[in-house]
Structure 1
């Protein structure tokens, strides 16, 4: 049987790996409540299995962090990615022509005389 101190430290380690939540009247997420009820109950889950799952959760968080760090364009749309790629090699993309009536004319003269 695991000691209460070991279980408490394991529970706190799980809470550190979960995303933080603002303090409110319902401060625990359903996942936090499930972890707490599993640890508090005298379950037959071995402490080694819980520690192994904690290592898995830490590895998943680190994987997501590294994925965001080394693939910064992952969340960008295609147009923004192309613009930044062109900037990286020292080029600027030309401004796109718009057919909307913005009041500017690209012609050489004024028709209304």
Structure 2
């Protein structure tokens, strides 16, 4: 059974939900948005066979699940590894503060740290 237009719209919307949002809705669509839109519109108008359109719909659902999982993975990674984006000096300073120590003030090479 070929997927209906409503099912294809649902898949398209779930894919768009997982992609990064556009900053301004009036800005032009990204190439990925355009490609998704073309693929969904051609799938709904021209169906070479029911099996092929079902396979494309299943691939779209799998892609949506994959993108959702990747988004959750990145969120969890950022939550449980907060020092990931810091440089080594800052990470050491915060680790020392965590155990109740302050690093000494370094003087040298023309810079003063407080």
- TM-score normalised by the shorter chain: which range applies? 0.7 to 0.9
Q: RMSD between aligned alpha carbons?
A: 2.0
How far does the alpha carbon of each residue in 1:42-100 deviate from its partner, in whole angstroms, 9 at most, with x for none? Answer: 26352122111111111011111111111111110000000000000000000001353
Q: Secondary structure at the match of 1:95?
A: coil
Q: What is the number of residues matched between the two proteins?
A: 102
Of 70-79 and 40-49, the range deviating more from structure 2: 40-49
The structure showing larger relative contact order (alpha-carbon pairs under 8 Å, at least 6 residues apart) is: 2
**Counterpart check, 1:98 vs 2:104:** no
Q: TM-score, normalised by structure 1?
A: 0.81
**Unmatched tracts of structure 1, length 5 or more:** 103-113
In the alignment, structure 2 segments of 5+ residues that lack a partner are none
Match of 1:110 in 2: none
1:14 matched to 2:15? The reply is yes
Whether 2:66 is the aligned partner of 1:56: answer yes
What displacement does 1:26 show? 3.5
CA radius of gyration, larger in: 1
State the match for 1:106 in structure 2. none
Would you tell me which structure has more helix in proportion to its own residues? Answer: 2
Alpha-carbon separation, structure 1, partners of 2:4 and 2:86: 48
Give the TM-score, by structure 2 length: 0.80
